[in-house]
Structure 1
Amino acid sequence: MASETEQSATERLDSRIPGAFPEASGSQPVVATHQSLPQALYDRRLEYTRARNVRIKVGSWNVAGLKGLEQDVGAWFVGGKGIEESLAGLGVADKKAGDARESIEDQEARRSSTAPTVPHNDKKAVAGDDEVGIYALGLQEVVDINSMSEALRPYTDPSVAARWKQALVAAMPEGYQLVAEQQLIGLLLLIYVSPSIHPQVKAVSTTSVGTGLMGYMGNKGAVTARLVLGETTRLVFVNAHLSAGADKASVDRRIWDAAQITSRTRFEPVADAVGMAQSAGERLGDEDFAFWFGDLNFRLVGMGPDDVRHLLTIHAKGLNREQHKSADVIDNTPISTDSDSVSVSKTASDFEIADESEDDIPVPPELDPASLQTTIDSLLPHDELLEVRKAGKAFHDGWHEGPIRFLPSYKYDLGKVAVFDSSDKRRCPSWCDRILYRTRAARQRYEESSKEQEDARKKDEEMKAVGLETAGDDESVLYDYNPDTDGTHDTYDEYDDHEDDPEPETVSTKDGFQDEILLESYTNHMRVLSSDHKPMEAVFFLKYDAVVPELKSAIHQEVARELDRQENEGRPSVTLVVDRSTGSSSPVNAGTTDSSFDGVDFGDVRFVKSKRRNITIANTGRVPATFWFTDRPVSKDQPEGPFPPWLSVAFDREPDAGAKASSDNRHQQFTLEPADLLNAELKFKMSDLNLVRDLNDGVSSLDEILVLRIHEGRDHFLPLRGNWQQSALSRTVDKLSNIPEGGIRKLQGQKPDVSQGVRYSVPRELFRLTEAIEDLTERTLAEWGMTGQEGNKEKAPWQHNAAWPFAGGINDPKEENMAAEAHDALDCDEPFEKAFPTDTRPKQKLEIITEVFLTFLRSLQDGIITKSLWEKLEEGFINREKSRQPISSDDEKMWALEILSAAPIHNASFLLTVSMLQNVDKQIVDASKLDETPTPRSSVELPSSPRASVRRKTLSKVPQMAVKQLVLKNHAAVFADVLFRAAGDEKLKEREKTARKERMVKLVELFLWDE
């Protein structure tokens, strides 16, 4: 199977080919959320529908690419003229005696390309004019399809269709309107409706399918229209021109053409019976009534063309005695007497029947050996269309045709009434032009029959598989199934639509209405002389139920009111209650407009400080209630999901089986029985530094609304709020240097007074954190040094991680809470000791404070080393790397300090940070000397180095120096990640990012070495 990409590419290519797959609608089908209203309205459809009648005339004509033929179309198609009653078919009225219709001789004699060819003084013999409510005309070869330039033209010439429409409008009764038009090269479909029918026509959709050159071009194929009549009945009209030719390959190609038209025809979606939803696009076969007409090109086979022409000319010679002088010789060619063909040995006089007296009983045409119908019945078994239907290859799935009681429609000499092809090709007359129809009921009968046959075949195969036999000695009861014969019919009569007059057929439509259709007439127009094909027409009488819009609207309102009442009584209902101990206890109902806050209030909230609130959800309705928190609108600051990033929700029961869930309890679905309830815990925790910045600046707030969605019920809204406490995080170094004693929290709701200038050389927070880290490091190492006697001492902290104490140490909720209190102490300018219980060891305090310190540095908007400072520093590093001229450490320090001096506060902050690191590193190195046992370098237990890659061969042979090298390298790597701000990182390749990181580490290391 082709991939989706390949399929979409194919569809785009096909869309450029005339007659290819029609383009799909860009809009997605709309699915109704409430099915009860449409169903209730549908159940009362008899109250807002009324029976209507309409005649539908379907016409087909191959105009052979000739010009001027539109002069005849109004007379035969609208006026019902040009029919030769003696050679006509079903439903043709006899002319009254004494009608002075123009003779055939005179009609043929005056024929020209500039005047209509229909006989003068002719009267209609079938329904026409305003007796018909829907006119559907299918024309073939309105342009010369044998011309390569026409067949490959990427567009259709609108002037061609305009000429035909102009002729039809002139012939139509007043008020008739064009409702559907579709052209594909030489195919043209036009549908007009009467003024009374026009308001009932909806959902018109037209399309085309090309099956010609390369299987897609429009020189052959079909144009199709779908319309919905009275909001109840789907009608489809297919005007087709199938492949020509009289050989076996041509028949197969016609079958293929028909299958392609069926499978590739697509229509736009149709609103359902009450207009509240959209179904998917429809195919051919989804309609209630379909009419397939056109030049189907099926021929008569197995007979000599001259024999067929002779048989039919016998019946036509009376129309023009000058042109048909002998029944035994056609155009000076003797009649064939070959045993393989039909032998004709009698002249017309042999079939003459003596004048009957008034008391004689007329002989039915089908029993009269000299009648036209007898001749037609002898020819129809050789008709290809009937053969392929009988074989189940095409038009076998419910299609019917009216009785054929008229001469073939093809092929005639231009300008002649009944002279068959007299050219050198002498083509065999055939019923090439046909009008078929199908009802939904007929298609369903076919599908049921096909299913029964398939079930019988499977049952036969099962019985064969088990070897079921009779009790007799030799006779077997194994059933033989032959797919070529079984399921088909042994007699032609089953597929013969042409013996009896059609009966009215009752059809249940797709929307459940009862319609009735009757074929009233089916004939051709022999007296139209302007094409080598005679026009075909069929008139259908349709009884259908049509929606009365005014009645439907009134009943719609009535049903809606009743359903609303029922829905309010039976709709799922829940009540949301916030626990009294955690906030307001008022029930939270949808649409609350009270000024009091009926939601969850977290009160004062701080960075990484967790707060919890409980809510109760109770089913207070009469039916089970299924609910979930639905997603909020997604924006730049609001990620996808039902909860804001600072909130998580935990429920006290398991979600429904199969309900969508995730690790953070999003999208969980619960069902409560009446009077049942569940509890949920809402946890607040702010850890997003970007959101902290916005909260500090007042750009964002902690006002949110959770949406609790009740399946088939009303949404409930749960407001949330919290009062953000200002934080020193996510600010700039310059702003922090202006914060007075008392910390940022002292300025809650205010801004620093910049008029006083810079208050401190470095932010107080930076000073306090570095001071605390130095002090706690000293206390931690002192405690480690006193943990026990030699040989019973715990492993040194840096031997677990060479980056200690900056390796991260928040491991459990208790430490998480202490970190939150430490951040609060930093914001309030209070001692860090308040954050720790009295029994907290110095090592644990140190690891928590270092984590707070790294978070503080990471959150600085401008960084200790700003983007502009780093650009200058990096430029110097790169230049030295290129020149390969190293300088001494002291010179490199002086160079770096000279650049940093451009930003005094940042320079001082950097020096304070690295000074703290120097002190920490010195304490670690000094502590490593406590192990006084001399050990060869090869067996020294060296700490791991997860932060920085250090090659062992570069380490000093002195253990303490090796420890120092590892510790400094790791500390430099840690602080390179938090001290610097650099532009364009996202555009760098991995190798360039690595090189940049190494330069940052090098700068920090430069200031850590005290040598």
Structure 2
Amino acid sequence: MPSSNSDRSFTDRLDATIPGAFPSSDGNQSSTHQTLSQALYARRNEYTRSRNVRIKIGSWNVAAEKGTEKDIGAWFVEGKGIEKAIAGLGVDESQDDDNLESVPAQEARRSRKASTVPRRDDGTLPGGEEVGIYVLGLQEVVDVSSPSEALRPYTDPSVANRWKSEVQNALPEGYKLVAEQQLIGLLLLVYASPDVFPHVSGVSTTSVGTGLMGYMGNKGAVTARIVLGETTRLVFINSHLAAGSDKAALDRRNWDAGQVISRTRFDPITDALGVTQGHGEGLGEEDFAFWFGDLNYRLEGIPGDDVRRLLTIHTKTLDPEPTEDSKEPRLSSSDSSVTSKSPSSTSSIKEDAVPLPPELDPASLHTTISCLMPHDELRQQQKLGKAFQDGWNEGPIQFLPTYKYDVGKVGVFDSSEKRRVPSWCDRILYRTRAAKERHDAHVKEQEEARKRDEEMKKKGLDAPGDEEVLYDYDPETDGDKTTGYDDYDEYDEDAEPEPEEVITKEGFKDEILLEYYAAHLRVISSDHKPLDAIFSLKYDAVIPELKASIHQEVARELDRQENEGRPSITLVVDRSTGATTSEAAPTTDNDFDGVDFNDVQFAKSKRRNITIANTGRVPATFGFTDRPVSKDQAPGPFPSWLTVTFDREPDKTDKSSDDNLHQQFTLEPADVCSAELKLKVEAIHDVRNLNEGSEQLDEILVLRVQNGRDHFLPIRADWQQSALARSIDKLIKIPEGGIRKLQGQKPDSETNKVRWSIPREIFRLTEAIEDLTERTIAEWDMTKHEGDRAPWQHNAGWPFVKDSRYFEDDVHEDTLAALYEALDCDTSFDAAFPGEVAAMQRLEIISEVLLQFLRSLEDGVVTESLWKDLEGGIVARERSRQHLPLDDAKIWALETLSVSPSHNATFLLLISMLQRLTNEIVTASRPDTSSSRASMDSLPSSPRVAVRRRTLSKVPEVATRQLISRNYATVFSEAMFRSGGMDQLKEKERNLRKDRMVGVIETFLSEDDALR
């Protein structure tokens, strides 16, 4: 992700706004699997086919001259404008061109509205459909010295469109533009033929500005990268380097070239299979690179007049005086004496004399160029290792300098006051991967030699007698003959060019051959002459259909081989288990490949078993890992309502080899283990979400095998609606028959009619508790033995407060679940108790159900708003120290609650039950008053009970009532009242609020003010 502006350096911010600055790079790129790539590459012969393509590269500085675009099709596409006698590499001078328009006639008709190429020119270089890829690099398509013109490319696309239109019109039908990049005056266009275009991919273009301030685009380069046949990377660089003939200008040209190399970055390559190969590439990672343009390197150390005098010998014959035999005399290939000897010597040569070879003729163009090339700055800088030294090559220069000519003239060098030295400013260089690797290897060898030399000198081996073992390293001179370049002063004109074999980055074998390297002297619309180079490239092209087929075969084979050596387990769901004595066997759904718990209700456990077997050939370590969850779900391998227990102990490890595995188990080959999945919904928030439909009993567990594949185990169950976790306002609308009668509906969806004054579930529970309390006390009186103490005699909170071990190990789980089921279905509680169960045990279990039901109420019996009103009145009386009589306190509390009739009625029903139970127990305790104070030892530990020994009455019966009332008030205040913000209160304030809640209930359980 790009950093913010505040975190970026000045250079980074400048790069984002200056044309041709550093391109952005994306570090989040994926790469192909190495093993798969190697296997696929090993079968490359099966999905590649050899192809040949001609690449024509043209370069021209149009000097912002109007009308230059009219010449582009003629010289670049059709190969016209060549002066054969002095054209360049590969040009056949034997072809007859007597019909070609003469130089004077051509210059006389020069116009900005038409092509300046000579008429009756049939074209000398290959063009049209003979070329598969056309690459055109133009410089100064706008006037870079004019600020308004320099900004035009960013606001007006007409400049580029004008050139593209001319090129497209000149190209044969079907050629398509595959890459385009412009940087102010630099324009790069790449076209492909209909046969080549389908094999072009990985197109990426970029630009680097090196002009003003080192970043502006008046100088710099535009670059394109394409991939041919998914095997061969081609890079095209069109550049315009710093101008000038002094030492500072030369250094700046070298700096410009270095900046282009270091700052050019291309987008990552994505192959036909959608696999991204590595990160963005820079220069040097391609298979073939072509660098062309106005490099601006001049002739150094030689007077300009001398250069002009030498070259004029070869240009003046282009414009001979008319003769009687022809009105348009031409320099023909038969006039070898003109090009090979000076004019003064031609009269002395006999007609039957054998012409001298160009390299032996002191007056030939070959000799002139050979004399001038040692002064060429580009060749000099290459030899010195300061620019273009890392593998860049150039075809032999056999043409006149391309700069500077008078506009409109074929062979007239700069006749202005500056009289610039003619130079080969425009060049086309190329580099293969093999040449770059040879250079890098040589640099590495030199560096290693330097280090060895320094190490030996440190050891004192520089004595005269040891000179023969030292490495003589001089960074200023070493490498003159080992840079990969031949001596530029010598040419072997008779040698036939040989194709160069190159192993590409993808490992394929390609061949490249430079066929032509020529200048178009007869194009006169600019002060630069255009030049082009034609390369023949033989490459292996991937056939996408074959590669996709081989890719699938290789992937399947690798997968098979890998699976045989990877841990492998089989997960089997035991569909025959899960039915206990109290539940029906699960139904089988053949379409569901997972664990189905069927119908699930609150507080009822359901169990299913799975079997895990190691079916591989190596030990398998596995465990359940964290499943993907939403923000409302608890993290971890299992949801809150599911637990998993294995039939063996987990592996003993200090730290799991997989941090996501909370427990891990290892099975040897053919070993088997089982796991029990227990589903039990008992968290009230889960009940509420399941009732509302915002949560489902539907999960996918992830069983992870280390170094193997993940197994996914779907879990599902059907939730049975529960009366728990609802509000009183909803419960009073449930019709007779219970909440299950509305399965799949909201409680008030059938009708909005209020059916009950209080929830029927609470009414049934309180009624059962009152009845069972009376029966329990009566049975105790009939069955007790002498010395036995009743539970209410040592537990002032009985039957609502019980020892924590009472429900330990889910001993009453089935009974509790059956009671909740009876509430939901509005059926008898008696059926929930198996066999003969004593009234006392029934009472204690139903009492627990009542408390759980009250705790689950969405808004409580006393809602948050009602409690706020109650507490406000209590606090006001506390501050004023006002004491209300008992009856007045009850009336005030009921009036406050009366704003919500259903809550008020429920409150009174519960108070009535507690009053009746208190009276029953106090009455039953009268014969044995000595134990009343002993009940202090059985106060519930949570919630806090506000009972203090010094407040108890000395009258045993009154003390018993006080203890029972306060225990009941403490237990039921926690279940009935709702108060927001309790967690934010300090402990003292929180305890004070709880005391106030207890006091409200205790008010209704007391008989007179003296007991309050």
Q: TM-score, normalised by structure 1?
A: 0.73
Of the three residues 308, 319, 331, the one matched with 2:315 is 319
Residue 145 of structure 2 corresponds to 146
* 2:295 partner letter: L
8 Å CA contact 1:858–1:978 kept in 2: the answer is: yes
Residue 783 of structure 1 corresponds to none
Distance across 1 between alignment mates of 2:704 and 2:350: 88
Residue 292 of structure 1 corresponds to 291
Structure 1 stretches lacking a partner, 5+ long: 326-346, 585-592, 780-795, 932-942
Residue 98 of structure 2 corresponds to 99
* 1:231 partner letter: E
Of the three residues 899, 902, 923, the one matched with 1:902 is 899
Q: How far apart are residue 16 of structure 1 and its match?
A: 5.2
> In structure 1, the residue corresponding to 2:411 is in which secondary structure?
coil
8 Å CA contact 1:727–1:745 kept in 2: the answer is: yes
Distance across 1 between alignment mates of 2:884 and 2:864: 23
CA 1:684/1:476 → structure 2, altered by over 3 Å: closer, same or farther? Answer: farther
Distance across 1 between alignment mates of 2:298 and 2:462: 52
Q: How far apart are residue 190 of structure 1 and its match?
A: 1.4
Distance across 1 between alignment mates of 2:972 and 2:13: 54
CA 1:430/1:696 → structure 2, altered by over 3 Å: closer, same or farther? Answer: same
Of the three residues 406, 422, 444, the one matched with 2:437 is 444
Give per-residue Cα distances to partners, 1:116-160, cap 9 Å, x unaligned: 222333343332233222110011121122222343458252221
Residue 206 of structure 1 corresponds to 205
> In structure 1, the residue corresponding to 2:88 is in which secondary structure?
coil
Residue 479 of structure 2 corresponds to 489
> In structure 1, the residue corresponding to 2:106 is in which secondary structure?
helix
Residue 275 of structure 2 corresponds to 277
Q: TM-score, normalised by structure 2?
A: 0.73
> In structure 2, the residue corresponding to 1:267 is in which secondary structure?
coil
CA 1:390/1:471 → structure 2, altered by over 3 Å: closer, same or farther? Answer: closer
> In structure 2, the residue corresponding to 1:231 is in which secondary structure?
coil
Pairing 1:364-763 to 2, within 5 Å after superposition: 364-365=358-359, 368-459=361-452, 467-469=458-460, 475=466, 484-485=475-476, 488-491=478-481, 494-496=484-486, 498=488, 499-500=490-491, 503-548=498-543, 574-578=569-573, 582-583=577-578, 595=590, 599-602=594-597, 607=602, 613-621=608-616, 634-635=629-630, 643-649=638-644, 652=648, 653-654=650-651, 659-662=657-660, 664-665=662-663, 674-696=669-691, 700-706=695-701, 708=703, 718-722=713-717, 724=719, 727-736=722-731, 758-759=755-756, 761=758
* 1:67 partner letter: K
8 Å CA contact 2:973–2:1001 kept in 1: the answer is: no
CA 1:616/1:421 → structure 2, altered by over 3 Å: closer, same or farther? Answer: same
> In structure 1, the residue corresponding to 2:270 is in which secondary structure?
coil
Pairing 1:858-937 to 2, within 5 Å after superposition: 859-866=856-863, 869=866, 897-909=894-906
Distance across 1 between alignment mates of 2:442 and 2:22: 31
Pairing 1:251-270 to 2, within 5 Å after superposition: 251-270=250-269
Distance across 2 between alignment mates of 1:662 and 1:236: 47
Residue 341 of structure 1 corresponds to none
8 Å CA contact 1:893–1:1006 kept in 2: the answer is: no
Q: How far apart are residue 54 of structure 1 and its match?
A: 1.5
Residue 792 of structure 1 corresponds to none
8 Å CA contact 2:177–2:189 kept in 1: the answer is: yes
CA 1:609/1:395 → structure 2, altered by over 3 Å: closer, same or farther? Answer: farther
* 1:468 partner letter: K
* 1:308 partner letter: G
* 1:71 partner letter: K
Q: How far apart are residue 731 of structure 1 and its match?
A: 1.6
Distance across 2 between alignment mates of 1:537 and 1:699: 72
Give per-residue Cα distances to partners, 1:727-762, cap 9 Å, x unaligned: 443222234457799997899899989899555646
Residue 333 of structure 1 corresponds to none
Deviates more, 1:67-76 or 1:723-732: 723-732
8 Å CA contact 2:358–2:367 kept in 1: the answer is: no
Distance across 1 between alignment mates of 2:476 and 2:816: 91
Residue 342 of structure 1 corresponds to none
> In structure 1, the residue corresponding to 2:195 is in which secondary structure?
coil
Residue 1008 of structure 2 corresponds to none
CA 1:562/1:887 → structure 2, altered by over 3 Å: closer, same or farther? Answer: same
Deviates more, 1:739-748 or 1:190-199: 739-748
* 2:273 partner letter: G
Equivalent pairs, count: 919
Residue 45 of structure 1 corresponds to 44
Give per-residue Cα distances to partners, 1:350-378, cap 9 Å, x unaligned: 9999748867683442x555544444444
Distance across 2 between alignment mates of 1:977 and 1:381: 103
Deviates more, 1:523-532 or 1:762-771: 762-771
8 Å CA contact 2:99–2:120 kept in 1: the answer is: yes
8 Å CA contact 2:31–2:278 kept in 1: the answer is: no
* 2:614 partner letter: N
CA 1:617/1:181 → structure 2, altered by over 3 Å: closer, same or farther? Answer: same
CA 1:212/1:968 → structure 2, altered by over 3 Å: closer, same or farther? Answer: farther
> In structure 2, the residue corresponding to 1:315 is in which secondary structure?
helix
Distance across 2 between alignment mates of 1:353 and 1:918: 146
Distance across 2 between alignment mates of 1:254 and 1:749: 81
8 Å CA contact 1:732–1:860 kept in 2: the answer is: yes
Distance across 2 between alignment mates of 1:420 and 1:805: 119
* 2:316 partner letter: N
CA 1:976/1:432 → structure 2, altered by over 3 Å: closer, same or farther? Answer: farther
Give per-residue Cα distances to partners, 1:597-636, cap 9 Å, x unaligned: 7644557655566665443222335677777767766557
Residue 978 of structure 2 corresponds to 980
Instruction: Flag the structure with larger Rg.
Output: 2
> In structure 1, the residue corresponding to 2:510 is in which secondary structure?
strand
* 1:400 partner letter: N
Give per-residue Cα distances to partners, 1:815-858, cap 9 Å, x unaligned: 677789767656657699989xx9xx99xx99x99998886555
> In structure 2, the residue corresponding to 1:310 is in which secondary structure?
helix
Q: How far apart are residue 421 of structure 1 and its match?
A: 3.1
Residue 189 of structure 2 corresponds to 190
Q: How far apart are residue 647 of structure 1 and its match?
A: 2.9
Q: How far apart are residue 519 of structure 1 and its match?
A: 0.9
8 Å CA contact 1:82–1:119 kept in 2: the answer is: yes
CA 1:750/1:382 → structure 2, altered by over 3 Å: closer, same or farther? Answer: closer
8 Å CA contact 1:78–1:172 kept in 2: the answer is: yes
8 Å CA contact 2:292–2:428 kept in 1: the answer is: yes
Distance across 1 between alignment mates of 2:416 and 2:889: 106
Distance across 1 between alignment mates of 2:237 and 2:730: 78
Distance across 2 between alignment mates of 1:533 and 1:114: 19
Q: How far apart are residue 910 of structure 1 and its match?
A: 5.3
8 Å CA contact 1:520–1:539 kept in 2: the answer is: yes
Residue 164 of structure 1 corresponds to 163
Residue 238 of structure 2 corresponds to 239
Give per-residue Cα distances to partners, 1:65-85, cap 9 Å, x unaligned: 222101111121112222334
Residue 940 of structure 1 corresponds to none
Give per-residue Cα distances to partners, 1:161-193, cap 9 Å, x unaligned: 222122223322343332222223222111222
8 Å CA contact 1:409–1:535 kept in 2: the answer is: yes
> In structure 1, the residue corresponding to 2:512 is in which secondary structure?
strand
8 Å CA contact 2:462–2:470 kept in 1: the answer is: no
> In structure 2, the residue corresponding to 1:145 is in which secondary structure?
coil
Q: How far apart are residue 505 of structure 1 and its match?
A: 0.8
> In structure 2, the residue corresponding to 1:411 is in which secondary structure?
coil
Distance across 1 between alignment mates of 2:545 and 2:530: 42
* 1:1004 partner letter: M
CA 1:399/1:689 → structure 2, altered by over 3 Å: closer, same or farther? Answer: farther
* 2:436 partner letter: R
CA 1:246/1:623 → structure 2, altered by over 3 Å: closer, same or farther? Answer: farther
Q: How far apart are residue 518 of structure 1 and its match?
A: 0.7
